[in-house]
Amino acid sequence: DAMVIQNPRYQVTQFGKPVTLSCSQTLNHNVMYWYQQKSSQAPKLLFHYYDKDFNNEADTPDNFQSRRPNTSFCFLDIRSPGLGDAAMYLCATSSRPRDEQFFGPGTRLTVL
């Protein structure tokens, strides 16, 4: 089935150790989004790719970067994770900018 896949589902990293989260999609959607959801909070948009164009939210910390090497894959890089970066990271895709967004199962990041 066509879907949005996130790997790993659970990631543990150490304070300050770079970590990369992965998202792939078989939907051939043009837009890919990364959301951060801290415990008991609403998801918050970090950035998105519209095709190859990267768009950062104004309040996304510089510590967070993203790469989209092709249509199917998008990566979230956290250069120096802090304790406050522990959260669920949700990847979503949409065919066109204003279409419904399909979410992956998320990666739960723990920072020790």
In the three-class reduction of DSSP (H, G, I as helix; E, B as strand; rest coil), residue 84 is classed as: helix
- 22 touching other proteins, by CB under 8 A: no
- Supply the minimum distance, in Å, between the C-beta of residue 90 and other proteins: 6
CA distance 52 to 33: 12
- 71 touching other proteins, by CB under 8 A: no
Residue pair 9/105 in contact (Cβ under 8 Å)? The answer is yes
Residues 6+ apart with CB under 8 A from 96: 30, 31
- 104 touching other proteins, by CB under 8 A: yes
Residues lying near other proteins in the complex (CB under 8 A): 31, 33, 35, 41-45, 48, 50, 53-55, 57, 88, 90, 92, 94, 97-98, 100-106, 108
